[in-house]
Amino acid sequence: MSSEQRKIRIAVVFGGRSSEHEISCVTAGSVLSVIDPDRYEVVPVGITRTGNWVLASGDPENLRIDPATKALPSVSEDGLELALPFDTAGQLMTVSPSRGTERLAEVDVVLPLLHGPFGEDGTIQGLFEMMGVRYAGAGVFSSAAAMDKVFMKAMLVGNGIPTSPYVAITARAWETERKKVLDDIAELGTTVFVKPARAGSSVGISKVRDSGDADAVVAAVEAAREHDPKVLVEAQVVGREIECGVLESEDGGTPDVSFPAEVHVAEGFDFYDFEAKYLSTSGLTIPAEIPEEATARLRAMAADVFEAMGCEGLARVDFFYTEDGEVLVNELNTMPGFTPSSAFPQMWEATGVDYATLVERMITTALRRSPGLR
């Protein structure tokens, strides 16, 4: 087959060094199961927890949560040929004891199905930019700003988009100004949530019921710091958790927004933490049962957030909807989960975009962008 006739070659990159390694693997398995093999040639590339790139199995069955044991998949280094990042011609390189280093294939587009630091935070996007390789999702700055919840909040406030009150804790402030930090946290209100500033999938989050209890706050901050030296503490917002999926427009116009979904946390869970999200019966109501006016406002605000943060491709925007009708932005995910239980594909399914079409759209919007500055 000539180069003009060959299939579009996609590198599906998954795993990674963050605490969300396993969820990235599950996401990759779901995506790999629907990519059209008649149109695309897939090169599955796993990144181990230590940061090694390896040529991985593209079998979706190897990348799913075991229904019996709840065991999570991961990328193993054992017995796999190492892959190196792209050269300046957009080609993957491989290295093996028998053949040494050689070019593997020219890649047309990358699906970086990575969650959390070293994947969703602009770092790997910067690598793709330097190598001149097209990739799906937000660019370097948008990825970094959305991943860091402190900068995300600052950008939202600067664009007139409401979010909950918060205190940001840097490593320096925690070591040298702890009393002031604790005093500021106590001013947020009785109940607060403490979370890593640059993590997702509800990893490392604690709910503190008495913000004036210094010991409880310190314990929660230290738990968050196990995942990130930078910590965000937010005032509790009493309201319903509503999410919207956003897709880059196919015609260059205003972003498309899904029907909103309401999150229902399973019985026995205090809030939507990792186990409640992935390993429980927590569910969604789609469309969310809220007034029509509120639905329109949420969807419009989701598009505003997408554009204010400079997003591309796809994103999920999470909101709080209070009893008095106030809407506050909670978080923005520039590479939302694609697992079977993830909200993003479920919202689009209800809106009329099935899973395979969703993945196809992610690929095609990435392919139409030219490498380099946008």
The angle, 0 to 180 degrees and rounded to 10, between the axes of the packed helices 355-367 and 343-351 is 100
Asked if 123 contacts 141 with a C-beta cutoff of 8 angstroms, the reply is no
pLDDT range class, residue 356, cuts 50, 70, 90: very high
For CATH 3.30.1490.20, list the domain ranges present in the chain: 166-235
pLDDT at site 281: 43
102-115 per-position pLDDT tens digit: 677 788 999 999 98
**Which listed residue (142, 206, 211, 342) is catalytic?**
342
pLDDT at site 76: 82
For CATH 3.30.470.20, list the domain ranges present in the chain: 145-162+239-351
Strand partners, 283: 264
Q: 145-162+239-351: what fold?
A: D-amino Acid Aminotransferase; Chain A, domain 1 (3.30.470)
For CATH 3.40.50.20, list the domain ranges present in the chain: 8-135
d(CA 216, CA 214) in angstroms, rounded, equals: 5
More confident residue, 233 or 339: 233
DSSP 135: B
Least confident of 85-94, 253-262, 297-306, 342-351: 85-94
pLDDT at site 97: 64
Which segment, 6-10, 64-68, 306-310, 341-345, is predicted with the most confidence on average?
306-310
pLDDT range class, residue 268, cuts 50, 70, 90: low
**How far is Cα of residue 110 from the mean position of the Cα atoms in its chain?**
16
pLDDT at site 2: 47
* CATH architecture classification, 166-235: 2-Layer Sandwich (3.30)
Side chain identity, residue 87: D
Q: Is residue 129 annotated as part of the catalytic site, yes or no?
A: no
More confident residue, 201 or 334: 334
* CATH architecture classification, 8-135: 3-Layer(aba) Sandwich (3.40)
Per-residue pLDDT for 94 more than 80? no
pLDDT at site 19: 80
Q: Is residue 201 annotated as part of the catalytic site, yes or no?
A: yes
pLDDT range class, residue 79, cuts 50, 70, 90: low
**Which listed residue (142, 201, 282, 341) is catalytic?**
201
pLDDT range class, residue 303, cuts 50, 70, 90: very high
Predicted TM-score (pTM) of this structure: 0.87
d(CA 288, CA 244) in angstroms, rounded, equals: 10
174-226 per-position pLDDT tens digit: 999 999 999 999 999 999 999 999 876 567 899 999 999 999 999 999 999 99
Per-residue pLDDT for 329 more than 80? yes
Scanning the chain, the segments in alpha helix (DSSP H) are: 21-32, 123-131, 140-147, 149-158, 171-176, 178-186, 214-225, 274-278, 292-308, 343-351, 355-367
**Distances from the Cα of 154 to the Cα of 113, 305, 308, 334, angstroms:** 26, 12, 11, 17
Per-residue pLDDT for 371 more than 90? no
**Which listed residue (18, 20, 143, 258) is catalytic?**
20
Asked if 94 contacts 102 with a C-beta cutoff of 8 angstroms, the reply is yes
Asked if 231 contacts 195 with a C-beta cutoff of 8 angstroms, the reply is yes
Residues, the chain: 374
More confident residue, 88 or 1: 88
10-37 per-position pLDDT tens digit: 999 999 998 889 989 999 999 999 999 9
Query: What's the chain's average pLDDT?
Result: 88
Asked if 41 contacts 219 with a C-beta cutoff of 8 angstroms, the reply is no
d(CA 264, CA 242) in angstroms, rounded, equals: 10
Q: Is residue 20 annotated as part of the catalytic site, yes or no?
A: yes
125-164 per-position pLDDT tens digit: 999 998 888 999 999 999 999 999 999 999 999 999 999 9
SS3 208: strand
d(CA 364, CA 361) in angstroms, rounded, equals: 5
pLDDT at site 60: 86
